[in-house]
């Protein structure tokens, strides 16, 4: 069954984000993950809004998502 990881990211050192971004594609490929969404300024439709970026990644199953 497909599993999803919802990740909240707070960027504290903006320059370091470039290195992180470069390393993600091989890591996603290794775990058969697929980046579905990446929003640096998400807006809350309901409830309180929190700061930080949101990343949504799809994995083929829960075990693979946990291994990631």
Provide the domain count of the chain.
1
Q: What is the rounded distance in angstroms from the CA atom of residue 49 to the CA atom of residue 64? A: 30
What pLDDT, on a 0 to 100 scale, did the predictor assign at position 57? 98
Per-residue pLDDT of the chain (68 residues; tens, 9 = 90+): 999 999 998 888 878 878 888 899 999 999 999 999 999 888 888 888 777 889 999 999 999 999 99
What pLDDT, on a 0 to 100 scale, did the predictor assign at position 21? 84
Q: Which domain holds residue 14?
A: 3-67
Q: What is the rounded distance in angstroms from the CA atom of residue 11 to the CA atom of residue 21? A: 12
CA proximity to 64, closest of 6, 4, 23, 22: 4
What pLDDT, on a 0 to 100 scale, did the predictor assign at position 7? 92
What pLDDT, on a 0 to 100 scale, did the predictor assign at position 10? 87
CATH for 44: 3.30.70.100
Which residues make Cβ contacts (< 8 Å) with residue 5, sequence separation at least 6?
33, 55, 56, 57, 59, 65, 68
Q: What is the rounded distance in angstroms from the CA atom of residue 68 to the CA atom of residue 43? A: 27
């Amino acid at each position: 069954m497909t599993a999803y990881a919802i990740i909240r990211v707070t960027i504290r050192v903006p320059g370091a984000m470039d290195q992180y971004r470069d390393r993600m594609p091989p890591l996603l490929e290794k775990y058969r993950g697929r980046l579905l969404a990446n929003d640096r300024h998400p807006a809350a439709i309901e409830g309180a809004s929190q700061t930080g970026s949101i990343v949504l990644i799809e994995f083929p199953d829960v075990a693979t998502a946990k291994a990631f």
